[in-house]
Structure 1
Amino acid sequence: MADTTHTDQGNRLEHYPVTFFATIMGMTGLALALHAAESSWGLGDTASTVIYFVALAMFVLVSFGYALKALKYPKAVSGEWHHPVRIAFFPAISISLLLLSTASLGRITVISEPLWLVGMLLQGVLTVAVVSAWIGARAFQTGHLNPAWFIPAVGNVIVPIAGVPLGYPEISWYFMSVGLIFWVVLMTLVMNRLIFHDPLPGKLQPTLVILIAPPAVGMVAWLRLVGDVDSFARILLNGAYLFTLIVAVQLPRIVKLPFAMSFWALSFPVAAATIASFQYAMKTGSAAHQYIGSGFLIVLVVIITALVLKTLRAMAAGQICIPE
């Protein structure tokens, strides 16, 4: 029996997915969204601080698990890197570092800059590596393209959010430029795939929500870089609202699908829209956007709660870390 259990644990470690880092993005996004709400409404920071430490602990645990997998099953990691869908989730590691750096500002300032530096460098390397893989010798097909391909681009526009207050404006402009350029390119490709080709497979349907993230995160980063709301910031925010409405129409169908870890893609984009709304409200004094941000926050809390419960149930039922 012990040998069987050991083998089962080994198999589960071998199938430990890089997509687990999307849970860190979601939880850290919740911490940042709560902090934005607390600042906008003049509340204390207890709730956001608690979620911040939960996200930090989750990052340590998830990173340890994936590092262990890399040591024991390097071929499995290589297989994920060469997977046409999962390769896009590797930058979720660097994005998690960048988000934790942002959330650490004003809390544990001493770790904010090291987290940002490591995350920024890793994001730069992964962006070049992933894009090189996309345009390299691999035979990607139209069916492989999905909104998760935005993840490497979104990671770049996150860099300025902590980079500017930490004193790195020029490198922040570089990553912002890269992120915006790839957002335009990938938006064209993804919309073409969604409109003119077969629907996304069931497990990838939740990634449609990722469409909200680039303009929402881009708006927050743009405010960091230019300091105030301008015409481009308004375009980005309203673009995020448009994609929110488009995704909202699809949600009743998406939530009926069987649970998979890809459902965590629902969390971070909603968090980004929440933060962008509160940032706009604080910069302009717009009560309407303050209430919009609050509405997004309520939805986000419901989503995160449901995702945590469903993930725990799936883990208890042995439905996580299994071959696809």
Structure 2
Amino acid sequence: MVLAQVPVTLFTVVMGLCGFTLALRAGEAAAGLAHLASGAAHVLTLAVFAGVALAYLAKVLRHPQAVAEEWRHPVSLAFFPAISISLVLFSLVMLEVMPGVARGLFMVAVPMQLVLTLAVVSGWIGSRAFEHGHLTPAWFIPAVGNVIVAIAGVPLGFVELGWFFASVGLIFWVVLLALVMNRLIFHDPLPERLQPTLVILVAPPSVGYLAWVALVGDVDAFARVLLNIAYLFVLIVAVQVPRLAALPFSLSHWALSFPLAAVTVASFAHAAALGSAGHAVIGFGLLAVLVAIIAGLIWRTGRALALGHLFAG
């Protein structure tokens, strides 16, 4: 593997596995089971997180020009906050087992998230012009990351910090949702390699629900609106599944994982808060789909890596 070819999009794998671990943990809690499956997923996530972080750090040190080219690319630019988002998500994964480590990861990730958000937004509104074709659902990633800070920050005691990042994330979600829907409806279809990013539409309202409930301490009307918007986007994406399944595999397929994990966790959280058996059923159904998707993604990623195709194109 040539380090210069390691893409920043590889951090979406870490995001997906973190979400998978949290979804399994929520499902085990809802079923009254021991955290065995989520424990195994936790170990896998730790290994992948370490491998991806070391590989990209080596790229930064040995091939800074290749990193600069990624940063200048109008599509890959939006994926850079996936680095800090991965750290925030891993702090959530570690929160129950090693709260001290979780706090340390959070303290590192939050300044990085703020810097990357400001840098990406400054890049969007800077001197260079973007075309409609450059806009994809991946542009939600910086917004989603800010909302996730609140989910981790509240249990760690950073409530006001959580309000700041949630506010930033939600306002950018509203703005970007209008832009992305305009692009999807009125302009050329997404390129094949980016079509799996459609699933990212599910993530902002899902993590928005979790952050809002954590911040206000209750399931209010706005929380219900967010969760049901997430369900609407799940249904919209489900209609596209046959087309997405026929696409050649690429790293962008990992965009399927985190959004589905987020809406799964939100469903279990809603079921627990209200004692809703219906939402628990939805959560278990989504979890079953998520397990199948993660298994398929791991197998296809391993196969592509063995064949030397993972970073091609």
Q: Where does structure 1 differ by over 3 angstroms across 4 or more consecutive aligned residues?
A: none
Alpha-carbon distance in 1 for matches of 2:173, 2:15? 19
> In the alignment, which residue of structure 1 is the partner of 2:252?
262
| 1:39 Cα deviation from its structure 2 partner | 1.5
How many pairs were matched up?
Answer: 313
Counterpart residue type for residue 266 of structure 1: L
Distance 1:110 1:231 in 2: 34
Cα distance between partner residues in 2 of 1:56 and 1:228:
32
TM-score by length of structure 2 reads 0.99
Task: Tell me, yes or no, if structure 1 residue 62 matches structure 2 residue 56.
Answer: no
Identical amino acids, percent of aligned pairs: 59
Moved more, 35-44 or 84-93: 35-44
- Taking only aligned residues, the RMSD between alpha carbons, in angstroms, comes to 0.7
Q: Normalising by the residue count of structure 1, what TM-score does the alignment of the two structures yield?
A: 0.95
* Structure-to-structure mapping, 1:212-227, within 5 angstroms: 212-227=202-217
Aligned residue for 1:198, secondary structure, equals: coil
Match of residue 25, structure 1, among 15, 18, 35: 15
**Post-superposition CA distance 1:252-274 (Å, at most 9, x none):** 10110100000000000000010
**Structure 2 SS opposite 1:220:** helix
Worse-superposed segment, 205-214 or 112-121: 112-121
Residue 153 of structure 1 corresponds to 143
Mapped to 1, the partners of 2:213 and 2:97 lie a distance apart of 21
Q: Which residue of 2 aligns with 1:6?
A: none
**Residue 38 of structure 1 aligns with which residue?**
28
Deviation track 1:20-72 (CA, whole Å, cap 9, x = no partner) reads 10000011100000111111221111111221121112111101000111111
Partner-residue secondary structure (3-state), 1:303: helix
Q: Distance in 1 between matches of 2:95 and 2:28?
A: 15
2:63 pairs with 66, 70, 73, which one?
Answer: 73
Q: How big is the shift at 1:321?
A: 2.5
1: CA distance, partners of 2:232 / 2:114: 29
Distance in 2 between residues matched to 1:272 and 1:253, nearest whole Å: 23
User: Does the alignment pair 1:312 with 2:302?
Assistant: yes
2:310 and 2:293 map into 1 onto residues whose CA distance is 19
* Distance of 1:126 and 1:59 partners within structure 2: 19
Structure 2 counterpart SS, 1:180: helix
